[in-house]
């Protein structure tokens, strides 16, 4: 069984909704299981994130999909606290050759969400992970997938806290693509790690 983990931070639940759609897409691939984990603010004490249960579940996954709302042009402070808490794992390159992908949402059409995706990509690369983006051009006719046109990850937009169905369709597609890639690379990862 190929295991996909989605880890996200969300305040008003739009990022959570995208994360659930990513997990749903991953589960649609036969032989894949998906778990969804939240970064919780009360796991952060004096700026430092700590949750050994979450970190051990991520260690077991073949692929990790990262999600954060775009706050002031980058990931939320809570997501960054979680990211900083993975530095022990980074030292051992414990996530090396796992598949990675990312998603974000903002209330503006061009609210610097791309920077959030690029941060997530750099974070994954620091861990030696293999980044998967989207292989669908902007406004693909099928259900307007990838309506905002980013290909390095899923960028979503909601001005009112309600998710756009096209963004959910794209999130499911991203989950499916991550699962298929993780399945294909599982043997390679075992050889490399």
Ligand X SMILES: Cc1cc2nc3c(=O)[nH]c(=O)nc-3n(C[C@H](O)[C@H](O)[C@H](O)COP(=O)(O)O)c2cc1C
């794209």: which residue's tokens?
170
At 137, list the tokens.
């051009």
Q: Segment contacting ligand X (CB under 6 A): 70-78, 88-96, 133-141, 143-151?
A: 70-78
Q: What is the CA radius of gyration of the chain?
A: 15
Question: Quick one: 75 exposed, middle or buried, by C-beta within 10 A (0-12, 13-18, 19+)?
Answer: buried
Q: Under 8 Å CB-to-CB from 134, ≥6 apart: which residues?
A: 146, 150, 151, 152, 153, 154, 170, 173, 174, 177
Nearer to ligand X, 28 or 107 (CB): 107
Nearer to ligand X, 15 or 97 (CB): 15
Q: Is 72 in the site for ligand X (CB under 6 A)?
A: yes
Alpha carbon 5 to its chain centroid, in Å, reads 9
At 13, list the tokens.
């639940």
| DSSP conformational letter for 161 | S
Report the residue from 84, 112, 135, 142 that binds ligand X according to the rule CB under 6 A.
Answer: 112
Q: Segment contacting ligand X (CB under 6 A): 10-18, 46-54, 85-93, 179-187?
A: 10-18
Q: Is 71 in the site for ligand X (CB under 6 A)?
A: yes
- Structural contact between residues 70 and 116, judged by C-beta atoms closer than 8 angstroms: yes
Nearer to ligand X, 97 or 158 (CB): 158
Q: Segment contacting ligand X (CB under 6 A): 38-46, 109-117, 145-153, 172-180?
A: 109-117
At 165, list the tokens.
């169905």
Report the residue from 40, 48, 50, 73 that binds ligand X according to the rule CB under 6 A.
Answer: 73
Using CB positions, name the residue nearest to ligand X: 111
Q: Is 15 in the site for ligand X (CB under 6 A)?
A: yes
Q: Segment contacting ligand X (CB under 6 A): 34-42, 102-110, 132-140, 181-189?
A: 102-110
The residues binding ligand X (CB under 6 A) are 10-15, 69-73, 105-108, 111-113, 158
């Amino acid at each position: 069984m190929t295991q996909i983990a989605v880890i996200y931070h969300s305040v008003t639940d739009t990022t959570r909704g995208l994360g659930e759609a990513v997990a749903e897409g991953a589960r649609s691939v036969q032989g894949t299981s998906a778990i969804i984990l939240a970064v919780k603010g009360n796991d952060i004490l004096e700026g430092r994130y700590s949750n050994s249960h979450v970190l051990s579940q991520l260690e077991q996954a073949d692929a990790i999909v990262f999600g954060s709302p775009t706050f002031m042009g980058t990931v939320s402070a809570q997501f960054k606290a979680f990211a900083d808490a993975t530095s022990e794992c980074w030292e051992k390159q414990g996530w090396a050759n796992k598949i990675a992908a990312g998603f974000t949402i903002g209330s503006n059409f061009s609210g610097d969400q791309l920077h959030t995706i690029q941060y997530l990509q750099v974070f994954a690369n620091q861990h030696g992970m293999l980044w998967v983006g989207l292989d669908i051009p902007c406004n693909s006719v099928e259900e307007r997938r990838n309506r905002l046109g980013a290909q390095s990850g899923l960028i979503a937009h909601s001005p009112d806290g309600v998710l756009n169905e096209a963004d959910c369709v794209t999130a499911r597609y991203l989950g499916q693509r991550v699962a298929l890639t993780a399945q294909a690379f599982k043997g390679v990862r075992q050889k490399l790690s």
